[in-house]
Structure 1
Amino acid sequence: MMLCCSGLVVALLLSQARGFLQAPDDDGVPEEWVLLHVVQGHIGAGNYSYLRLNHDGRIILHMRSLKGDADLYVSDKTLRPNFDTYKLQSATCGQDVVVVPGDFMRPVGISIYGHPSHQESEFEMRVFYDQTAPQDPYDKGSYPAEDEQEQQKAPQAAEDDFQEEESIFWTILIGLLKIIVEILF
């Protein structure tokens, strides 16, 4: 009985040791993701490093702090997002992951922030394209993008508002003139 238990303990220890000795399989990244870029850098405490993302589609940013603590901020409204102005963020002490949706306006602003708890932070960020994300079934070249349609509608809407205001103005003015004419004649 004792020999059986010690054999199980040895088998368990060997399986754990094998897990430590084997190289990790890309941090659990699915095979369908295509590696686009690897960005490495250093960032001082309280400072930002800015990047710009122009790739279309669903993009996954995998960043890990090799030394210190680097945080990730992402925005499609500004090219210099920070901890006050961002749309997506990951501020962990270890691995930071942000999924940039395909419908974000391009270019996307990316900031890497060096947390003040460390004098300097060293990071490595891998940028992946997710091939499994559903694509737009309409060809972008055939139809105007939603933003273009909105821009085309915006001047029309402004013109309609102006015509409505002008119409109300003339209605009131004609009404006042009729009242004045009735009083005078």
Structure 2
Amino acid sequence: MDCEVCHERPATLHLTNFINGKKTEVHVCQHCAQEKGYLETDEETYSIHDLLSGLFNFNSTFTNHQESNTQEATHKVCKHCGISYQQFAKIGKFGCGECYREFSEHLNPIFRRVHSGNTVHRGKIPKRQYVNLQKKRLLDDYRKELQRLIEQEKFEEAAEVRDKIKAIDQETVVEDRNKDGEA
């Protein structure tokens, strides 16, 4: 997409404004954006690499305990490929698969920031399998909750969760029978 002002350079800045409920979009190059005042002229430019690398620079938001953990991580080096945590943070890529194991204790804060708080990859689900997988996940969550309640000796609450698990299991059995009868 070309710049809407000069029509010479590619548009690198895309602005969306909502004024009195009306949406307007402007697509301009960096040069025209600075001329129009959308950007300050002394502002540094950042590449996508800078943006992604910035996600790994999270010291300012950590508590003292986490800061010491992060400082400890900067001195770690992967035993397999030799890349340091500091190099990883700078380039945003690991040197090998073993880096995940070597730096594992320091990665969850990064994953939470990058993936909106999620640290477990669940992948995409085909629509026809969504209901079954959703039930399976719900059962897994209930079973974990049941185990936690038993460990805390909250047996009344545990019985309620157990009953929910049985209800879902019975519902699944009935659905399976219906499917077998239709086939």
Is the shorter-chain TM-score for this pair beyond 0.5, marking a shared fold?
no
TM-score by length of 1: 0.20
Relative contact order, higher structure (CA 8 A, sep 6+): 1
Larger helix proportion of the pair: 2
Structure holding more strand per residue: 1
